C-alpha cells in the first residue's frame, strides 16, 4: 500500500487495491489447475467435451468392433472421412463466432465441386484452373450471402436457407438429373486417396511438434522477460508434449502398412491431412493474433461495442460468410477427391449438420463470440468417428440419421447450458 | 436565457476567452482543424506516457490549474448551441465550458437535455446552431471518430465492452497495436497495465481477465481507462456510478478525480448530489434544455443545486423570472 498519499484518500486507495486483488496471485501449476477447474465449473468448457467424447467413442466402438475399428485401414479411412467435415466446419467457425449461421455451406461445397469436376471433365481445363474457379464460386456465394445478411439485414438463417435450396437447383442443373461427373485428375484424386511418403510424414510431424513447442516456449519467455501475464512453464511444457505426442502417434498409426495384400506397401499420411494442418495454423493465427480476428470476436461478443470502437461491422460480417463459403469450396473438392466423383446431391443430406455439429462439439458457441479453429478438428474427428463407427456396426440409415441428430442436439444443449452457467456465475 | 444571464460565474468563465488562443496553443489559421498538428497545452506529446504514476508526481501538481480568474483556455467551449429533433427543441442556446484539470459536473433532471448535450459534444449529433470550440479553435464534428481524433472520449452509460474479451483486448479494441501483421500483445498488455496503475488500480496478473468476470465497478474502470488510454484531452462520463454500490462508487469517483488531477478536462454527468459535491470543481445545471448556471462547486450549496435542477432558479442563480 502506498503511503505517500494524504490521510483522507486512504480508504479509496484500499478499495482500489482490493478491487483487482482477487486475481492477484502467483500463477504456479496448482493455482493454474484450480483456475482451470473453476473455469470448467463456471461453464467455460473449452475443448473438454470434445476430448472426452473422442475418448468415449473410441472405447465404445473398439469394444463393439475390436477387429475392424482400430485396424490400420480403418484409421486411415477415418482420417480421410473427417477431412471434408473438418474443413467445412473450420469455415463455419468464423460464421458461428458472429452468432450467425450458414445453412448453405454444405450445398455450396457441392456446387463448387461440381464446377471443378465439370471444368476438368468437360472442358479439359487443368486442375488449378478448376480449383481456382471452384474457390471463386465459393467466394461469390459467400459475398452474396454476406451482403444480404450484413447490408440488407435479413437474418442469416433465412438467407442461407434460401441459398440452401437455390444452390441445390444449380448443382442439379450443372450435373443433370441422376448424372455423375467423374473426377480423374491425378492431383485432385491424390488429395484424399494418396499418401505422403512415410519419411515425409515423420519429418512434417517432427517439424510441427518442435515448431509448436518453440512458439509456446518463446512466447512464455517473452512474457516472463517483460513481466507479463504468463502460464506456469510446467503447463506450457506439458501442453507441448501432449501436442507432440498426438502428432507423432497419429503419424505412427498412419504410417503402418494397411495394404490388403502383403506384397505391396500402402501407408503414410494422406495428403489431405497436411492441407488441414496448414488451414488450421492459418486460421488459428488469424483468429488469435491479428486485428481482424480480434474484431471477429468483438463483433460476436457485442456488435454495438465493436461499432462504437470504430470497427467496420458490416465488412466483418460479409467477410466471414466469404470465408465460410471459400472453405466450403475446399471441402467440396476434398470430398469429390475422396469419392472420385460429384453427384447432384453432393454436399446435401447431413453434410452441413455434420459440420455444424463438429464446430459445436469442438466448443464453438452457437451464440457467438466463443470458438477456435481447432474446435473444427476435434469436433470433426468426433463426428467422423460416429459416422464411421455406425457404418462398421452396420446401422440402418434411418438410425444413423437419428443418432447424428441426437448428437448435434446434445452438443448444442451443452453449449446452451454452459452459457447459462456462465451467466449465472458471472463469466 | 443566454450566457449573460448565468451571472457572475459565467462572467468569470468568460475571462479566458479574452485570450482566444491560449499561450501554448499558437495555432494560426493555416493549422489543420484536427490534432496531429495541434499544440498541446498541458500534456506531453507521448500518449503512452501521459498516465503513468511517475508522470503524475513529475507533472501532476504543476498541471493543476489555479483559480478560475487565470487565463486558462477551456478545452471545450460551447456557445449558443441549439438542437432540435423535428419540432421539439431540446437544447436552447447552451453555453458550456470544460477546463483542463477540472471536473465539471453536468446536472439536470431527466429530460433536461444532458444526454443530447453529451451527444453533441461527442460528435454523435451535430448542433443546429452555435459555436463549438475545442482548445480555443472552432471545430465541426461530423462523427464520433472526429471527436476521438480531437481527443474527446465519451464513456457511455452502457460502457460498450465486449464481455468475451479480456481487459487488454477491450482497452485496445478497434485501435490495436500491431507488429507486422500480428497483434503486439506484449506492448498492449504493458501499456494497459501502466494505464490501469496510473488510475491506481492494482492489476497484477489480472489484465487478462475476461470482462464477463468483472464487477460493475471494475467494468466502469476499464471503460474509463479505455477513454484515457489515448491522447485524450476531454473525457465525458455519463452516469459512471449509476449502477454501482457504495464502495465501487467511491473507487470510480477517486478515478474521476485522478483524471482531472492529471490535467484532463472531465465532464461528469450525475444524479447524485453527494457524488457531484465530492468530486467536481464546477457544476453546470441544465433545466428544460437551457443552461441555467455554470458555477464553481465551492460557491453553491447542495440545496441551491437541487433548486436549479428542479426549478431552474435558486436565489440569484438561474433563470430570470
B-chain CB neighbours of A369 within 8 Å are: 162-164
Is any Cβ of chain B less than 8 angstroms from the Cβ of A8? no
Parse chain B into domains and list their residue ranges.
Answer: 3-161+232-318
- Bin B111: left if φ > 0, else alpha if -120 < ψ < 50, else beta: left
* Poorest-pLDDT segment among A264-278, A299-313, B186-200: B186-200
Identify the sign of the CA torsion B20, B26, B31, B32: negative
Partners of B206 on chain A (C-beta within 8 Å) are 20, 22-24, 229
Q: Does A282 touch chain B (CB under 8 A)?
A: no
Nearest neighbour of A301 by CB, restricted to B164, B206, B218:
B164
- List pLDDT tens digits, range B118-159: 989 988 888 999 999 999 899 988 888 888 889 999 888 888
Class at the top of the CATH hierarchy for domain B3-161+232-318: alpha beta
Q: Contact A311/B161, CB-based, under 8 Å?
A: no
Confidence (pLDDT) at B26: 37
Q: Are strands B234-238 and B103-108 parallel, antiparallel or unpaired?
A: unpaired
Whether the pLDDT of residue A168 is over 70: the answer is yes
pLDDT classification of A426: cutoffs 50, 70, 90: low
The reported pLDDT for the residue numbered B215 is: 81
So what's the pLDDT on residue B15?
34
With CB atoms and an 8 Å threshold, state whether A9 touches B161: no
Mean pLDDT over residues B12-28, rounded? 35
Summarised one tens digit per residue, pLDDT across range A127-138 is 999 999 999 999
Provide the residue ranges of all domains of chain A, joining segments of one domain with +: 47-194+270-415
pLDDT tens per residue across span A311-352? 899 999 999 999 999 999 999 999 999 999 999 888 888 889
> Could you say which DSSP state residue B5 is in?
G
**pLDDT-wise least confident of A95-104, A225-234, B11-20, B180-189:** B11-20
Compute chain B's Rg from CA coordinates.
19
Looking at domain A47-194+270-415, its CATH class is mainly alpha
Question: What pairs with residue B138 in β-bridges?
Answer: B133
Average pLDDT over residues A17-35: 60
Residue in chain A lying closest to B207 (CA): A229
How far, CA to CA in Å, does B169 sit from each of A314, B226, B300? 21, 10, 42
CB B212 to CB A422 under 8 A?
yes
B177 touches chain A (CB under 8 A): no
- Say yes or no to pLDDT of A62 above 70: yes
User: Distance, in angstroms, between B276 CA and closest chain A CA?
Assistant: 17
Average pLDDT, stretch A400-413?
87
Task: Measure Cα distances from A350 to A25, A70, B252 in Å.
Answer: 48, 25, 53
Q: How confident is the model at residue A126 (pLDDT cuts 50, 70, 90)?
A: very high
Please name which of A220, A179, A223 lies closest in space to residue A342, comparing C-alpha atoms. A179
**pLDDT attached to residue A288:** 94
CA distance A106 to B301: 70
What value does the mean pLDDT take over residues A208-228?
Answer: 91
- Mean pLDDT over B221-234 rounds to 86
pLDDT of amino acid B321: 53
The bridge status of strand B103-108 relative to strand B290-296 is unpaired
Asked whether the predicted pLDDT for residue A25 surpasses 70, the reply is no
Ramachandran region of residue B265, left (φ > 0), alpha (ψ -120 to 50) or beta? beta
Would you say A239 and A216 are in contact if contact means Cβ atoms under 8 Å apart?
yes
CA distance B169 to B145: 20
How many CB contacts within 8 angstroms connect chain A with chain B?
Answer: 129
Residue in A closest to B190 by C-alpha: A228
* Contacts of B271 by beta carbon, 8 Å cutoff, 6+ apart: B107, B239, B242
Split at pLDDT 50, 70, 90, the class of A20 is very low
Distances (CA, A) of A98 to A88, A291, A313: 17, 15, 10
C-alpha grid cell, residue A261: 495384400
The pLDDT of A187-200, averaged and rounded, is 92
How near does any CA of chain B get to the CA of A50, in Å? 21
The rounded mean pLDDT for chain A is: 88
Task: Tell me if chain A has a CB within 8 Å of the CB of B207.
Answer: yes
Give how far B78 is from chain A: nearest CA, Å: 24
ipTM rounded to 2 decimals: 0.85
**Cβ neighbours of A17 in B, within 8 Å:** 202
pLDDT over 80 at B66, yes or no: no
* Residue in B147, B159, B165 to test binding to A, most A beta-carbons within 10 Å: B165
| Residue A71 Ramachandran class (φ > 0 left, ψ -120 to 50 alpha, else beta) | beta
Query: What was the pLDDT predicted at A263?
Result: 84
* Rounded distance between C-alpha atoms, residue A99 and residue A366, angstroms: 6
A33-47, A174-188, A382-396: the lowest-pLDDT one? A33-47
| Whether the predicted pLDDT of B32 surpasses 70 | no
| Listed residue (B155, B260, B272) closest to B199, CA to CA | B260
Percent of chain B surpassing pLDDT 90: 24
Considering only the beta carbons, identify the residue of B208, B213, B221 that sits closest to A229.
Answer: B208
Amino acid at each position: 500500500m502506498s503511503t505517500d498519499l494524504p490521510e483522507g484518500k486512504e480508504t479509496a486507495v484500499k478499495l482500489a487495491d482490493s478491487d483487482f486483488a482477487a486475481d492477484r496471485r502467483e500463477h504456479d501449476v496448482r493455482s493454474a489447475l484450480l483456475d482451470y477447474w473453476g473455469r470448467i465449473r463456471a461453464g467455460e468448457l473449452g475443448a473438454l467435451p470434445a476430448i472426452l467424447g473422442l475418448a468415449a467413442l473410441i472405447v465404445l466402438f473398439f469394444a463393439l468392433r475390436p477387429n475392424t475399428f482400430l485396424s490400420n485401414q480403418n484409421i486411415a479411412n477415418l482420417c480421410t472421412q473427417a477431412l471434408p467435415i473438418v474443413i467445412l466446419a473450420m469455415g463455419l467457425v468464423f460464421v458461428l463466432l458472429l452468432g450467425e449461421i450458414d445453412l448453405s455451406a454444405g450445398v455450396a461445397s457441392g456446387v463448387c465441386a461440381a464446377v471443378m469436376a465439370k471444368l476438368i471433365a468437360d472442358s479439359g481445363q487443368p486442375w488449378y484452373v478448376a480449383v481456382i474457379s471452384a474457390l471463386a464460386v465459393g467466394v461469390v456465394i459467400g459475398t452474396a450471402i454476406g451482403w444480404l445478411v450484413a447490408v440488407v439485414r435479413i437474418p442469416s438463417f433465412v438467407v442461407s436457407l434460401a441459398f440452401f435450396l437455390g444452390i441445390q437447383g444449380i448443382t442439379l442443373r450443372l450435373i443433370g438429373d441422376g448424372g455423375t461427373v467423374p473426377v480423374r485428375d491425378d492431383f485432385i484424386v491424390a488429395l484424399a486417396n494418396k499418401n505422403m511418403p512415410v519419411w515425409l510424414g515423420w519429418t512434417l510431424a517432427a517439424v510441427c511438434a518442435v515448431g509448436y513447442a518453440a512458439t509456446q516456449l518463446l512466447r512464455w519467455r517473452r512474457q516472463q522477460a517483460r513481466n507479463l501475464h504468463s502460464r506456469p512453464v510446467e503447463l506450457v511444457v506439458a501442453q507441448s508434449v501432449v501436442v507432440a505426442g498426438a502428432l507423432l502417434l497419429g503419424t505412427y498409426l498412419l504410417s503402418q502398412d494397411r495394404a490388403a495384400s502383403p506384397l505391396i506397401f500402402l501407408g503414410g499420411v494422406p495428403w489431405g491431412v497436411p492441407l488441414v494442418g496448414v488451414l488450421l495454423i492459418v486460421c488459428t493465427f488469424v483468429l488469435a493474433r491479428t486485428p481482424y480476428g480480434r474484431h471477429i470476436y468483438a463483433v460476436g461478443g457485442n456488435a454495438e461495442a465493436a461499432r462504437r470502437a470504430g470497427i467496420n461491422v458490416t465488412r466483418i460480417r460479409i467477410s466471414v460468410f466469404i470465408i465460410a463459403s471459400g472453405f466450403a469450396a475446399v471441402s467440396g473438392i476434398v470430398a469429390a477427391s475422396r469419392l472420385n466423383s460429384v453427384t447432384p446431391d453432393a454436399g446435401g443430406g447431413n453434410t452441413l449438420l455434420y459440420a455444424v455439429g463438429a464446430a459445436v462439439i469442438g466448443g464453438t458457441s452457437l451464440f457467438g463470440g466463443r470458438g477456435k479453429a481447432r474446435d473444427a478438428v476435434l469436433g470433426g474427428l468426433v463426428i467422423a468417428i460416429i459416422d464411421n463407427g455406425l457404418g462398421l456396426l452396420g446401422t440402418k440409415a434411418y438410425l444413423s440419421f437419428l443418432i447424428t441428430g441426437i448428437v448435434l442436439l446434445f452438443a448444442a444443449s451443452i453449449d446452451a447450458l454452459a452459457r447459462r452457467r456462465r451467466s449465472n456465475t458471472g463469466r | 436565457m443566454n450566457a449573460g444571464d448565468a451571472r457572475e460565474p459565467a462572467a468569470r468563465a468568460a475571462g479566458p476567452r479574452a485570450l482566444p488562443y491560449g499561450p501554448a496553443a499558437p495555432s494560426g489559421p493555416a493549422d489543420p482543424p484536427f490534432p496531429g498538428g495541434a499544440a498541446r497545452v498541458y500534456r506531453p506529446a507521448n500518449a503512452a506516457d501521459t498516465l503513468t504514476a511517475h508522470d503524475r508526481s513529475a507533472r501532476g501538481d504543476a498541471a493543476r490549474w489555479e483559480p478560475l480568474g487565470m487565463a486558462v483556455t477551456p478545452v471545450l467551449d460551447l456557445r449558443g448551441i441549439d438542437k432540435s429533433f423535428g419540432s421539439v427543441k431540446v437544447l436552447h442556446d447552451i453555453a458550456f465550458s470544460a477546463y483542463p484539470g477540472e471536473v465539471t459536473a453536468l446536472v439536470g433532471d431527466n429530460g433536461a437535455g444532458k444526454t443530447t448535450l453529451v451527444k453533441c459534444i461527442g460528435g454523435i449529433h451535430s448542433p443546429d446552431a452555435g459555436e463549438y470550440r475545442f482548445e480555443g479553435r472552432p471545430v465541426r464534428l461530423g462523427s464520433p471518430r472526429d471527436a476521438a481524433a480531437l481527443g474527446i472520449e465519451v464513456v457511455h452509460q452502457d460502457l460498450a465492452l465486449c464481455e468475451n474479451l479480456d481487459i487488454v483486448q477491450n482497452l485496445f479494441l478497434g485501435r490495436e497495436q500491431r507488429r507486422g501483421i500480428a497483434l503486439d500483445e506484449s506492448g498492449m498488455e504493458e501499456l494497459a497495465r501502466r494505464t490501469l496503475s496510473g488510475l491506481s488500480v492494482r492489476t497484477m496478473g489480472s489484465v487478462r481477465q475476461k470482462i464477463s468476470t468483472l464487477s460493475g465497478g471494475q467494468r466502469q474502470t476499464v471503460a474509463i481507462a479505455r477513454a484515457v488510454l489515448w491522447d485524450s484531452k476531454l473525457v465525458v462520463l455519463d452516469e459512471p456510478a449509476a449502477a454501482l454500490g457504495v464502495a465501487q462508487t467511491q473507487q470510480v469517483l477517486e478515478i474521476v478525480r485522478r483524471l482531472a488531477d492529471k490535467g484532463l478536462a472531465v465532464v461528469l454527468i450525475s444524479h447524485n448530489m453527494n457524488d457531484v459535491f465530492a468530486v467536481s470543481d464546477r457544476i453546470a445545471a441544465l433545466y428544460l434544455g437551457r443552461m441555467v448556471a455554470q458555477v464553481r462547486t465551492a460557491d453553491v450549496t447542495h440545496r441551491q443545486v437541487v433548486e436549479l435542477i428542479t426549478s431552474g432558479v435558486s436565489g440569484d442563480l438561474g433563470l430570470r423570472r
